[in-house]
Chains A and B, each alone.
Chain A
Amino acid sequence: MERIIAIKGGTVYTMEGKVLKDKVIVIKDGKIKEIINNIPENVTVIDAQGKFIYPGLIDIHTHAGLWEEGIGREGYDGNEYTDPVTPHLRALDGINFLDRGFEEAKANGITTVNIMPGSANVIGGQGVAVKTTGEILLNPSGIKMALGENPRRVYRAQNRMPSTRMGSAFLMRKALIETQNYIKKKEKDKYLFDLKYEALSGLFEGKYPARIHAHRQDDIVTAIRIMGEFNIKAVIEHSTEGHLVADFLSKKGIPCALGPIITTRVKQELKFRTPETAKVYEEKGVLFAFTTDYPVIPIYGLQLSASIALQYSLSRETALKAITINGAKILGLDKRIGSIKEGKDADIIITDGDILEPVTKILYTLINGEIVYEYKGPESLLM
C-alpha cells in the first residue's frame, strides 16, 4: 500500500505568493498532491498545528562531499589545479554522499544543493544539482568557471598562465573559440571527439549555463562580457561587489548566487563585501539566491545569511525567496522544487518558529515525502 502523508495545520509559506493557515498538505508518491481543508482517510498525519511550514531550502553553490569534513587532503576533490581548463571534469565523480555535510544539511532544512568544482581553474568542470539524500536532479547543472584572484594565485605559484586577470580572461575566451571551431569541424568529421570540447559544446547549445565565480565588479562584468560574446547564458557566483554593478546585472537579466556573506574579508577581492548587496539586488530586480559556499562556511549559514540580510533592510519575502524558490529558478528546477505547490516534489520543512529567526528549530525535513530528519531533542543536532 502506498503511503499517503498529510501535514495538518500550521502556517504554510508556499513561496507561491500566498501564506496559508490551518490547511492540510497531502503528499502522495513523493509529490505534493493537493492542499485541502480536511484530512483524508487512511493517511499518516504529521501534526503541524502552531508550526511553520516552508519548502525545503536550496543552496545553489556548494562543494558538499567534494571537500569532505574531518578527513584532510584525502577527502579534497574539488580543485584539479594541474590544468587551468578542465571542463570535462564532473563534480559528481568526487562527491562522497556519506559526508557529514549532507546529514547536517538535512538537519538544517536544506533539501537541494548544487555542487560544483572549486575556483582554482578558469574552467573548473561540471556541477551537479542533487537532493541532500543523494538523488541527482540535474547533471550537469552548469560549467563552473572562475575569474579574479583564485586561478591567478594558484597558477602564478606554478609560474604558469594565468598569473593575471588578463590571462584568465584569455584562457576562457580561447577555450570557447576552440569549442566553436570544434563544433564546425565535427559537422564534417564524425570521428572527431574531445571530451573537453564536448562539455563546452553544451554551453553553445544552451543546455546549461556558465556559472562564473566573480567577486570584484570588474570580474563580474568581464564574465558577462565574455559570455555575451559567445551568446552563452551566465550565472554569477558569489557576486560580492554585485551591488556596485546591480543596474548592469538587472539590465542584462543575469542571476546571481550571493555569498557567503558570513565571512571576513580574507582577500582583496572581498574588500567590499556587505550584507547590503541583497537589499540592492531586491531594489534593482536582480534574481539572486543566498549561498554558503559550503564548506567555506557551515551549511546552516544559509538561513543565517538570510536573517543577517534582514538587518540590512532586505524584505522578509525576498529573504525567504532567496533560500527557496529563487535558487530553484536559477538552477532551472522551479518546476520541481522551491515552493509548496500541487505537483511539485514534496520537499518540505516544518519548524517551531520563523525560519529567519536564528533560534528557530527545524522539526522535520521531508524529501520526496519521506522524513529524512526529525528533531528529537538537542542530541539530534550532535549526529
Chain B
Amino acid sequence: MKILVGGMIFTGKEFIEGGAIYIENGKIIKVLKRKYLRNEAEIIDCSGKYILPGLIDAHTHIGLYEEGAGRDYTDGNEMTKPVTPHLYAIDAVSPHDVAIKRARENGVTSVFVTPGSANPIGGIGSVIKLKDGLPHKNVVKKEAGVKFAFGENPKFVYGPQKKMPMTRMAIAALIRESLYKAKYYGEKKKRKRDFETDVEMEALLKLLRREFPVRAHAHRHDDIMTALRIKEEFGVDLVIEHCTSGAKVKDHLKGKVIGCVVGPAFGVSTKPESRDISFETPGILAKEGILVAITSDHPVTPLKYLNIYAAMAFKEGMEEIEALKAITINPAKILGVEKRIGSIEKGKDADIVVFNRHPFDLLARAEMVFIDGERVK
C-alpha cells in the first residue's frame, strides 16, 4: 500500500487540503480529508505539492506521427478512400514514440488516440494509458468513438485528386450516405435477409446503436451545425472536436452534444477554418454548461504541455476548477471512461500526478507520476 499524504488534492471536483490518498493493487482505495497513517504502508510526503488525477487528453494522434521520424512513418490518415469507419488508430500506434514518455513525465497518463481528419469518416479511436509496452496492452477502452471530419481537410485531400469530396456538401453527403447504408444494413442483419457481414458497416452500426459517439472534427460554426444536423437525422451521439468557432453557435451546442474537445489553441490560425482560434473558447462554452475538454491535438501541439493549455484557458476567463476538470474528469466523461480514470476517488485507477506548484504555474513541474499505482516518474 502507498499513501500520498498532505498537499492540495484536486479530486476532479474540488480541492481538499492536507488529506491522504490510499493506493492498493493499482486502485485508489480511499481518500481521506484528514491524515490517518498506517505503519505497513509506503508513506509519500506531498506537503506543499499539488496532487491531481493523471491528466487526460481526449484528442491526440500520439504514436501515429512518431516524433522525430520521417514522413514514411506517419500512420494517421488513410488518404486512399474517404470513408473508412473500420480502421482502428490503435493498430498504428508506435510504442517507440518518445512523445509517450515525454507526456507521461509531465503528468499526462491517458489519451484518446484517433485517426486524422483527412477522411469524412476516418476510423475508430481508443483510450490508452501512456505506459511503456505495446499500446494494445494499455487500452482502457478500445472503441471510444468514430472520427468524422468536416471542413477543409477532407476537401483538400480529395479535391485535388478529383475525387469526392471537394466541397463541404459532399463531405456531408458521403457521411449521410454511409449512415443510411448502415441503417439498412442493420435492418437486414436483424432479419438475416440477404445478409453478408460487411466490416465497414459493422463499425457504423455500433455508432447507430450508440455504443460510441461520433467524434466530429469541426472547426467552423457552419461545420459544427452540419455535424449537429446529421446527429439529429440519425440519432447518434456527438462530440465536437476542435470547436474553434464554437462560441458563435454555443446556444445550438448546449444540451445537444456529449461535449466539446476544444483546441489546439496554442498556435496560429494556419487556415481559414481556424481563424477564430482562442483560449477564450473553452471558458465561454463551459459557462453554458457544456462539457469541455482541452486538447493538444498532439502532435499539432505537444501533449506534454497539456496543463499549460488549461492554464491559458484559465487566464482567458475559464474558471480555475473548470479548467482543471477540462484536462481530467471532463475528458474521461467524454471518452466514457469516467468510472476508471479522471478523478481521485475511491475505486478509481491510481493514476495520479504530483506537481511541485499549482499546475497552472508556468514553473510547475510534475515531480511524481503514478499509473495504476506504479510510480512511473
- Please give the distance in Å from A340's CB to the nearest CB on chain B: 31
CB pair B222 A86 closer than 8 Å? no
CB pair B165 A193 closer than 8 Å? no
Name 26 A/B residue pairs within 8 A (Cβ), A-sorted. Answer: A75-B272, A77-B167, A80-B165, A80-B166, A80-B169, A80-B170, A82-B158, A82-B162, A82-B165, A82-B170, A89-B167, A89-B169, A89-B170, A90-B172, A92-B229, A93-B168, A93-B172, A94-B167, A94-B172, A95-B222, A96-B222, A97-B225, A98-B222, A191-B194, A193-B180, A193-B184
A89 with B173, Cβ < 8 A, contacts A77-B167, A82-B163, A191-B187 known: yes
CB pair B184 A191 closer than 8 Å? yes
Let me know if A342 is at the binding interface, CB within 8 A: no
- Please, which residues of chain B bring their CB within 8 A of the CB of A74? 152, 155-156, 271-273
Q: Which of B162, B166, B169, B225 contacts A125 (CB 8 A)?
A: B169
Let me know if B176 is at the binding interface, CB within 8 A: yes
Complex alpha-carbon distance, A97 and B226, angstroms: 12
Let me know if B96 is at the binding interface, CB within 8 A: no
- Please give the distance in Å from A373's CB to the nearest CB on chain B: 20
- Please, which residues of chain B bring their CB within 8 A of the CB of A10? none
CB pair B248 A98 closer than 8 Å? yes
- Please give the distance in Å from B172's CB to the nearest CB on chain A: 4
- Please, which residues of chain A bring their CB within 8 A of the CB of B173? 86, 88-90, 93, 125, 195
Instruction: State the 10 A-B residue pairs at the shortest beta-carbon distance, nearest first.
Output: A93-B172, A94-B168, A89-B169, A77-B168, A74-B272, A82-B164, A77-B167, A94-B169, A80-B170, A96-B222
CB pair A77 B163 closer than 8 Å? no
Let me know if A260 is at the binding interface, CB within 8 A: no
Let me know if A78 is at the binding interface, CB within 8 A: yes
| CB 8 Å contact bits of A187-208 with B (1 = contact, 0 = none) | 0000111010000000000000
- Please, which residues of chain A bring their CB within 8 A of the CB of B163? 82
Let me know if A158 is at the binding interface, CB within 8 A: yes
Let me know if A13 is at the binding interface, CB within 8 A: no
Let me know if B221 is at the binding interface, CB within 8 A: yes
- Please, which residues of chain A bring their CB within 8 A of the CB of B171? 93
Let me know if B42 is at the binding interface, CB within 8 A: no
- Please give the distance in Å from B148's CB to the nearest CB on chain A: 13
Complex alpha-carbon distance, A71 and B273, angstroms: 10
Let me know if A151 is at the binding interface, CB within 8 A: no
**How big is chain A's contact interface, by range?**
20 to 34
CB pair B164 A80 closer than 8 Å? yes
- Please give the distance in Å from A131's CB to the nearest CB on chain B: 16
Let me know if A324 is at the binding interface, CB within 8 A: no
Complex alpha-carbon distance, A92 and B173, angstroms: 11
Complex alpha-carbon distance, A89 and B173, angstroms: 5
- Residue with the greatest number of chain A CB neighbours at <10 A, chosen from B173, B187, B194: B173
CB pair B222 A81 closer than 8 Å? no
Let me know if A182 is at the binding interface, CB within 8 A: no
Q: Which of B155, B166, B172, B272 contacts A71 (CB 8 A)?
A: B272
- Please give the distance in Å from A19's CB to the nearest CB on chain B: 40
**How big is chain B's contact interface, by range?**
35 or more
A78 with B167, Cβ < 8 A, contacts A93-B173, A96-B222 known: yes
8 Å CB contacts to A: which residues of B260-286? 271-273
Interface of B is mostly: helix
CB pair A191 B162 closer than 8 Å? no
Let me know if B137 is at the binding interface, CB within 8 A: no
Q: Which of B162, B164, B177, B225 contacts A158 (CB 8 A)?
A: B162
- Please give the distance in Å from B153's CB to the nearest CB on chain A: 10
Complex alpha-carbon distance, A97 and B177, angstroms: 24
- Please give the distance in Å from B250's CB to the nearest CB on chain A: 14
Closest residue on chain A to residue B181 by CB atoms: A193
Let me know if B220 is at the binding interface, CB within 8 A: yes
- Please, which residues of chain A bring their CB within 8 A of the CB of B158? 82
- Residue with the greatest number of chain B CB neighbours at <10 A, chosen from A72, A81, A82, A83: A82
- Please, which residues of chain A bring their CB within 8 A of the CB of B162? 81-82, 158
CB pair A88 B166 closer than 8 Å? no
- Please, which residues of chain A bring their CB within 8 A of the CB of B166? 79-82
- Please, which residues of chain B bring their CB within 8 A of the CB of A73? 156
Closest residue on chain B to residue A87 by CB atoms: B173
CB pair A91 B169 closer than 8 Å? yes
- Please give the distance in Å from A162's CB to the nearest CB on chain B: 15
A88 with B176, Cβ < 8 A, contacts A76-B167, A98-B221 known: yes
- Please, which residues of chain B bring their CB within 8 A of the CB of A89? 167, 169-170, 172-173
A88 with B165, Cβ < 8 A, contacts A74-B152, A98-B221 known: no
Let me know if A117 is at the binding interface, CB within 8 A: yes
Closest residue on chain B to residue A158 by CB atoms: B162
A86 with B193, Cβ < 8 A, contacts A95-B222, A98-B221, A195-B177 known: no
Closest residue on chain B to residue A118 by CB atoms: B167
Complex alpha-carbon distance, A99 and B259, angstroms: 26
Let me know if B188 is at the binding interface, CB within 8 A: yes
- Please, which residues of chain A bring their CB within 8 A of the CB of B152? 74
Complex alpha-carbon distance, A192 and B185, angstroms: 10
Q: Which of A83, A90, A96 contacts B164 (CB 8 A)?
A: A83
Q: Which of B155, B187, B194, B220 contacts A96 (CB 8 A)?
A: B220
A89-B169, A191-B184 are known; give 5 further A-B pairs, CB within 8 A.
A78-B167, A78-B169, A88-B176, A94-B167, A195-B173
- Please, which residues of chain A bring their CB within 8 A of the CB of B176? 88, 195
8 Å CB contacts to B: which residues of A93-119? 93-98, 117
Complex alpha-carbon distance, A94 and B273, angstroms: 13
CB pair A93 B272 closer than 8 Å? no
Complex alpha-carbon distance, A83 and B163, angstroms: 8
- Please give the distance in Å from B157's CB to the nearest CB on chain A: 12
Closest residue on chain B to residue A195 by CB atoms: B177
- Please give the distance in Å from A124's CB to the nearest CB on chain B: 9
Complex alpha-carbon distance, A192 and B187, angstroms: 11
- Please give the distance in Å from B275's CB to the nearest CB on chain A: 9
